[in-house]
Amino acid sequence: MKLITFEGIEGVGKSTQINLVLDWLKTKGFSTKLLREPGSTNFGEQIRELLLSKESNISAHTELLLMFAARSEMIKDHLMDSKEDFILCDRYYHASIAYQGFGRKLSLDLINFLINGINCPTPDLTIIYDLDVKTGFERKANDVIDRIESSGINFFEDVRKGYQQLAKDRSEVEILDASEPIDLISQQTKTLVERLF
Ligand code: TMP
């Protein structure tokens, strides 16, 4: 099993790219599974609702711990003993480093402790789609904004910096320019994925 995770701030076109690569892998005859975080289990989807609801007035630590509670369930149900050739996950623990670490300013040591402590498998490939924060929000102008998306421009500037730092620090992480045309980004995504064949 190869685990590929997809990351980026709001409006980078992550879902479009995931679906394009998923269809492409299927046409090549690979078995695949698509997951998302937080979510992908019954329990995790309930946690997702709590996390994204504007009625949840929670601390940054609660936010972090709920992300990891959902993650632990997803790992148990979907990543342990997986039989698929490829698992694609829409966000994973790099999002906790970027959003809760760089964005909410929680301890990176604590986040790395949780990553190791709940035995998160390291992805074979993590693709970050990088985009200017304002452009990302302009693309989502007509969408209903959830609790985390309501965190403001400065928060997302910090999250973006976090992702850029992760691309520098971690060997599994690749970064692509999300301001390019969709077809070009899709080609670049496939070239990265092909290295795992
Ligand atoms: P999305 O996957 O639909 O974008 O929504 C998930 C939201 O949760 C998104 O705003 C990013 C945020 N998130 C974190 O803050 N930390 C995490 O660890 C994960 C997985 C997601």
pLDDT, tens only, 4-52: 999 999 999 999 999 999 999 999 999 999 999 999 999 999 999 999 9
Looking at ligand 1, which residue's alpha carbon is closest to its atom 19? Answer: 95
CA distance 65 to 71: 10
Residue 140's beta-bridge partner residues? none
Report whether residue 96 contacts ligand 1, using a CB cutoff of 6 Å.
Answer: yes
Ligand 1 atom with the smallest distance to the CA of 71 is 20
pTM here? 0.98
Ligand 1 atom with the smallest distance to the CA of 70 is 20
Torsion of CA 155, 159, 164, 168, to 10 degrees: 120
